[in-house]
A and B are shown apart, each in its own frame.
Chain A
Amino acid sequence: MTDAPAPARRTTPTDWSSDAMQRRIAKRYAAERRFKYLGLAAVILSAAFLAFLLYVMVGNGLGGFQQTEAELTIDFPALTGGTSAAAISGENAETVVGSLDLPGVVGVAMESQYGDAGNQIFSSGAWQVVQQKLLADPQLIESEQTLWLPTSSEIDIAAKEDGPPAAERLLAMLQQKDAVQTSFNTTFLTGSDATDPAQAGIWAAFKGSLMTMFITIILAFPVGVLAALYLEEYAPKNRWTDLIEVSINNLAAVPSIIFGLLGLVVFLNWFSMPRSAAIVGGLTLALMTMPIIVIAGRNAIKSVPPSIREAALGIGASPVQVVFHHVLPLALPGILTGTIIGMARALGETAPLLLIGMRAFIPTPPDGFTDPATVLPVQIYLWSDEINRGFVEKTSAAIIVLLAFLLSMNALAIYLRNKFETRW
């Protein structure tokens, strides 16, 4: 309360310099600042969550691109009975190398160099690395060789962080001999799913993803674009087109798992298509992606000004020619942007593919669209369930690959939008 008399307050203008007024103003400005900082905090908190997520994934996953290797000396002439370099080069090299019993050869070499611990040091797939090296360079077999071979996943973990005590002891022993090094893990990029994390790779899942995406895009893109053209350019305004429109909008909002149920019943049970095949996954995802493309396509088509259509009609083009010669080319950049975004969503989709059986253990990359396949997100899901600690970094590394792909797709979409954006 001020001590100014009440009648004065009614007749004179507000006294801005009075203490009470100043306090009220200060209070309101403080509330204003609080509100503003609250908003800033919300933005920063959301961004911080993203940063934290990326930090955790990169922190966990970078190790997955690296591999610990240990040294192994193999006396090839003694262990393989003096096979010559000529025998393992040429046409039937693989059969000959296959007959050498390399797992046994490598096992003996491990034992002679490290004793009983040999088996625990090296990955059970170490002999496959030896096989590849021999095929790449047959000369190796004619003399004693010192090769760097991948270690078992326990040693790998011990080298990167804290592993089990037994593995730590072995690692210390190796380090003393200077027989351990870290190198880029090519197996992770070229290998397939395996029970041993040291041998597991993403190539099979990646190939499966590419094949599924191929089916998705060749089905969803033409159908989506044609449907968008029909609805935007030709459709009469009646109950039927309303129904089509409503169902497209609804499909865009149906939970993805429902599409999985649809795929399971319709494609697998009614049409008895092969389980866990890229073609069924692609069909299911195409049904999911199509509405996204239709909606993006309609917006792009809508933004082409009517004057273009009228000019084309005016010089005698038919309605179909107007659309395919003029409207579609002008709308295409916008449609492509929407398509890329829809494909990015399909690429990250997991739930519907789980239901149509793409969660099997797939140790070899698929060769055809009907072969059993898995995709990258499902592979991530399967690895995330593994108890073996070595899979934690593989999972995160696969997530890094997936995110890199998605982010570059989204960046491409943004670039296209900026480059081709036209103001009429």
Chain B
Amino acid sequence: MAGAGLLFLVLGLGLIAWITGRARAAAFVHGDRTNLNSLPSYHGWYVALFAIVPPLLFLAVWTAIVPALQTDMVLSAPEAASLPMDGFTRASILSEARAIAEGTQTTAFQPMANKFVPLYEAAIAHYNWIAVAATLLLLFAGGAYAFTRLKPDFRARTKVERVVMAGLLVASLIAIITTIGIVASLIFETVRFFSVVSPIEFLFGANWNPQSTVTPGGDNGFGAIPLFWGTVFIGAIIAMIVAIPLGLMSAVYLTQYARPGFRKWMKPILEILAGVPTVVYGYFAALTVAPALRDFAAMLNIPGASSESALAAGVVMGVMIIPFVSSMADDSIAAVPNSMRDGSLAMGSTKSETIKKVLVPAALPGVVGGVLLAVSRAIGETMIVVMAAGLTANMTANPFASVTTVTVQIVQLLTGDQEFDSPKTLAAFALGLVLFIVTLLLNLVALRVVKRYREAYE
């Protein structure tokens, strides 16, 4: 809570800085603003920015490094010699002591932690003082420096606007930072995984049965081919068999045949399908669709019918994807020039012949792009398959059997109780990296296809 208090103090003092800066600028000119280069409020902003930006930057860095400093201080005390050498228990004792010292926890589960509570309290108090002093120092130094620079012809607006521009640039850099963060974290953990398990086994092995202990060189059950197959089977085959015809025909009907009133109502209704949370679809698939399909399969005597089937997950996922396919198809059909349609109709074709022989072929690149985007969405989809597709890695083309997917296994591997360094948890990151790369490629290809096509008629 000290951090929040400090934050409010900085912001409050920043407000005061704004007011003093503005008042000073107003005082220069005695009410006649034409003598002032910038409006008084820009002077205020200039002082306020100088006062609060350095302390805020300092606090951001500080909160990242201070836990380590506090722990170092605790470990340098003589009591630290009694800590066990084992890294895991050591860390858990220390984190428990910290939690008690910070007041987020009241009792220690490990008696040893109690000994370190006062040490932590002292360390936290010590570094809190440093933080407060440094923050205030930075704030007053920055504010005073800016304040002394104010003059009637001071170009406050230009300076403030430069800071605003920097802020805008930083905001847009966050996207790059996030992308780098994703790639770095995935690659970092994947490299750790591949130092234990060979990439060849992972990418080309057909046996998925991950074990916590690994024997080098042997088959450790990290062959991900069954997962890739399950993902493709559900997301790119079954789901698309449902989504492409329904989505495409819906788009054709709504753009070419439907009366405006019908279209106005139906389009948002279909779009609701895309807005339903996936956990709801997953529950629906597991509760209603999967049992119905199992009974159906049992009636037909299909072997291997399971209550968690690829078909249930795939069909429900296909329904979720319909609006994506239909709105992409809708856009690309609408982008076909009317003259082509009118030409075909004038030659005596019926509407359906025009659609089948002229509009859809002309719109095909857009439709294909939309389908690729839909596939990328389907293979990255998690909750439906987690709830309806099953856990057994299974290389089967029987849609009534249970198969598992990459996303199911990521959730499965990371929500267990094993510690974070085991190859089982690291495998999830390797799967994540594969998923990231594949969806990225699909998206890039899809966007390129759509873009190239759109330019064709301009």
Contacts and interface: CB of A to CB of B under 8 A. Distances in A.
A307 B160 CA distance: 26
Contact of B249 (A42, A53, A249, A344): A42
Given A261-B428, A354-B415, A247 B270 contact: no
A253 B444 CA distance: 10
A257 to B, nearest CB: 5
Contact of A42 (B157, B161, B167, B250): B250
A132 B182 CA distance: 49
Nearest to B320: A49
A230 B407 contact: no
A46 B319 contact: yes
A384 B286 contact: yes
Residue of B275, B381, B436 with highest tally of chain A CB at under 10 A? B275
A43 interface: yes
A347 B276 CA distance: 11
B433 to A, nearest CB: 9
B457 interface: no
A317 to B, nearest CB: 11
The 3 A-B residue pairs with the shortest CB-CB distance in the complex, in nearest-first order: A255-B380, A39-B253, A348-B277
Interface string A39-72: 1111101110110010011001000000000000
Contact of A377 (B168, B279, B420): B279
A291 interface: yes
Nearest to B429: A261
A227 B257 contact: no
Given A244-B175, A261-B185, A351-B411, 11 more contacts: A43-B250, A46-B273, A227-B172, A253-B439, A254-B380, A254-B440, A262-B185, A348-B277, A350-B278, A351-B383, A384-B287
Residue of B169, B186, B257, B269 with highest tally of chain A CB at under 10 A? B169
B322 interface: yes
A247 B179 contact: yes
The B interface is mostly helix, strand or loop, or mixed, namely helix
A28 B348 CA distance: 11
Interface string B423-456: 0000011001001100110011001000000000
9 contacts: A36-B351, A47-B270, A49-B273, A50-B269, A223-B171, A247-B176, A251-B179, A318-B158, A377-B279
A354 B411 contact: yes
Interface stretch (A106-114, A151-159, A187-195, A399-407): A399-407
A250 interface: yes
A272 interface: yes
A374 B379 CA distance: 26
B352 A256 contact: no
The A interface is mostly helix, strand or loop, or mixed, namely helix
A227 B178 contact: no
Contacts of B254: 39, 43
Given A38-B249, A50-B269, A56-B284, A272 B67 contact: yes
B157 to A, nearest CB: 7
Residue of B164, B186, B188, B443 with highest tally of chain A CB at under 10 A? B164
Nearest to A271: B64
Given A39-B257, A318-B161, A227 B280 contact: no
A172 B384 CA distance: 40
B373 interface: yes
Interface in B150-196: 157-158, 161, 164-165, 167-169, 171-176, 178-179, 181-182, 185-186, 188-189
B410 A261 contact: yes
Nearest to A265: B185
A269 B420 contact: yes
Interface in B226-257: 245-250, 252-254, 256-257
B414 interface: yes
A32 interface: yes
Interface in B372-390: 373, 376-377, 379-383, 386-387
Contacts of B284: 53, 56-57
Contact of B383 (A56, A381, A396): A381
Contacts of A42: 245-250, 253
B268 interface: yes
A28 B357 CA distance: 14
B140 interface: no
Interface in B305-364: 319, 322, 350-353, 355-356
B440 A230 contact: no
Interface of A: 28-29, 31-32, 35-36, 38-43, 45-47, 49-50, 53, 56-57, 60, 222-224, 226-227, 229-231, 234-235, 243-244, 247-251, 253-259, 261-262, 264-266, 269, 271-272, 287, 290-291, 294, 318-320, 344-345, 347-351, 354-355, 359, 370, 377-378, 380-381, 384, 392, 395-396, 399, 402-403, 406-407, 410, 414
Interface in B266-301: 266, 268-270, 272-273, 275-284, 286-288
B279 A381 contact: yes
Given A31-B350, A43-B250, A350 B273 contact: no
B104 interface: yes
A215 to B, nearest CB: 14
Contact of A257 (B247, B253, B269, B382): B382
A234 B273 CA distance: 37
B165 A264 contact: no
Interface of B: 64, 67, 104, 157-158, 161, 164-165, 167-169, 171-176, 178-179, 181-182, 185-186, 188-189, 245-250, 252-254, 256-258, 266, 268-270, 272-273, 275-284, 286-288, 319, 322, 350-353, 355-356, 373, 376-377, 379-383, 386-387, 407, 410-411, 414-415, 420, 428-429, 432, 435-436, 439-440, 443-444, 447
Contacts of A243: 176
A262 B382 CA distance: 16
Contact of A28 (B249, B350, B410): B350
Given A36-B352, A257-B382, A226 B443 contact: no
Contacts of A406: 275-277
B440 A250 contact: yes
B288 A56 contact: yes
Residue of A49, A224, A231 with highest tally of chain B CB at under 10 A? A49
Contact of B172 (A35, A226, A250): A226
A222 B414 CA distance: 32
Nearest to B158: A318
Contacts of A29: 350
A100 B270 CA distance: 57
Contacts of A259: 182
Given A261-B186, A351-B407, A384 B181 contact: no
A345 B275 CA distance: 7
Contacts of A38: 249
A247 B179 CA distance: 7
Contacts of B168: 226-227, 229-230, 234
Contacts of A32: 350-353
A231 B352 contact: no
A36 B175 contact: no
Contacts of B377: 253, 255
B435 A250 contact: no
B380 A380 contact: no
Nearest to B176: A247
Given A226-B168, A258-B380, A402-B280, A47 B266 contact: yes
Given A253-B443, A255-B439, A402 B380 contact: no
